[in-house]
């Protein structure tokens, strides 16, 4: 096998490792509510979530993957080293926020890292004045807008669902409502896990496609079209990696998501997961790469505010929001620094 093919294989492997860490880091998104309401044990919850993360491979197409692969960074600037540096930036930020117990967005870490490495290469080749010429505004506009829109959608839907359920079931005893929604929450958790897999695995699929393109294994027509005969291997590999990551999930963030923001009962867990799932289904089909973390956090806050504003621990929520704001620039900075180091030792990178 040639050096070029070995580099492509290594880049794809690193991308799948990131996908694994994405599932590991974002396991809380899929299972925090169903664990905190004690509908499922942690072990059963991760099996449930991992299965539906994988099943999403057959339901949501590749619209988000195409946005990541060809709609955010100009392909002529992309090399294997740009992809590798971008992945490293994302992985480092994910590991740091996992250690800090912060539910930040692996998705935004990925696109931030990818952009940071591409900007670093453009700066080296064309100077600071052309550093941002590699950015495709259209793809970034909708992505940045949905940093704010997705959690607000989750919040509003979660709030509306809770109010509607209070009104519909006002004559039922708390015990009856709790019993019914313990069963219904299994469905909402499954739906949310489908949305999680359908959105987050696609981002890695886009990066893998970019690596294959940079390695000369995919043409520009393949990138614009349906990836030719690489389509299903890319899809299945990405969904398998994220499902395994979810199975081995991160319990630090489960604790933050499931209990520190607001206390949840099964009815609240159902409303938060249903609100998150609807948001993720819509954005996945529209090809908008949103943060599953932001979405479910907004939905949990929306559910909490139906009790009283003080039911939400705003100090924790504020800390999470700051982490959201810092994710793209922080991962971009790590990736840019990594690319500069690579370029120093490999001037052809």
Phi, psi dihedral angles at 127 (to 5 degrees): 90, 165
> What pLDDT digit, counting tens, does each position of 262-319 carry?
566 788 889 998 999 999 999 999 888 888 878 888 898 888 888 765 555 556 566 6
Question: E strand or H helix at 275, and its extent?
Answer: helix 266-286
Question: Which residues of the chain are under the pLDDT cut of 50?
Answer: 257-259, 261
Give me the pLDDT at residue 258, please: 46
Our CA dihedral for 215, 78, 323, 34, rounded to 10 degrees, sits at -40
The percent of the chain in helix, strand and coil, each rounded to the nearest 5, is 85, 0, 15
Q: How far apart are CA 108 and CA 294, in angstroms?
A: 10
Give me the pLDDT at residue 1, please: 59
Give me the pLDDT at residue 167, please: 92
Q: How far apart are CA 202 and CA 197, in angstroms?
A: 8
Predicted TM-score of the model (pTM): 0.82
Give me the pLDDT at residue 263, please: 62
């Amino acid at each position: 096998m040639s050096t070029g093919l070995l580099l492509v294989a290594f880049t794809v492997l690193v991308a799948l490792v990131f996908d694994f860490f994405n599932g590991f880091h974002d396991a809380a998104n899929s299972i925090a509510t169903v664990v905190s309401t004690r509908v499922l044990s942690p072990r059963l919850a991760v099996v449930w979530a991992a299965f539906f993360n994988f099943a999403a491979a057959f339901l949501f197409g590749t619209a988000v993957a195409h946005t990541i692969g060809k709609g955010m960074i100009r392909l002529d600037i992309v090399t294997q080293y740009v992809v590798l540096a971008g992945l490293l930036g994302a992985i480092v930020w994910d590991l740091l926020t996992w250690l800090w117990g912060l539910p930040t967005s692996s998705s935004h870490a990925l696109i931030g890292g990818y952009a940071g490495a591409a900007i670093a290469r453009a700066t080296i080749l064309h100077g600071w004045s052309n550093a941002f010429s590699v950015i495709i505004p259209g793809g970034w506009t909708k992505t940045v807008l949905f940093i704010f829109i997705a959690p607000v959608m989750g919040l509003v839907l979660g709030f509306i669902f809770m109010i509607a359920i209070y009104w519909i079931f006002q004559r039922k005893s708390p015990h009856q409502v709790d019993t019914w929604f313990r069963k219904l929450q299994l469905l909402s958790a499954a739906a949310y896990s489908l949305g999680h897999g359908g959105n987050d695995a696609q981002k890695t699929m886009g990066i893998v496609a970019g690596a294959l393109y940079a390695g000369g294994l995919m043409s520009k027509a393949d990138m614009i079209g349906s990836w030719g005969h690489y389509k299903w291997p890319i899809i299945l590999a990405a969904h398998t990696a994220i499902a395994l990551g979810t199975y081995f999930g991160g319990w630090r963030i489960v604790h933050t998501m499931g209990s520190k923001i607001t206390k949840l009962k099964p009815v609240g867990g159902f409303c938060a997961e249903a609100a998150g799932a609807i948001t993720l289904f819509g954005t996945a089909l529209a090809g908008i790469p949103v943060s599953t973390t932001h979405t479910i956090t907004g939905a949990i806050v929306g559910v909490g505010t139906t009790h009283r504003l003080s039911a939400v621990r705003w100090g924790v929520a504020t800390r999470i929001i700051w982490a959201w704001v810092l994710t793209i620039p922080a991962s971009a900075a790590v990736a840019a620094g990594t690319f500069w180091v690579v370029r120093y030792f490999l001037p052809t990178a």
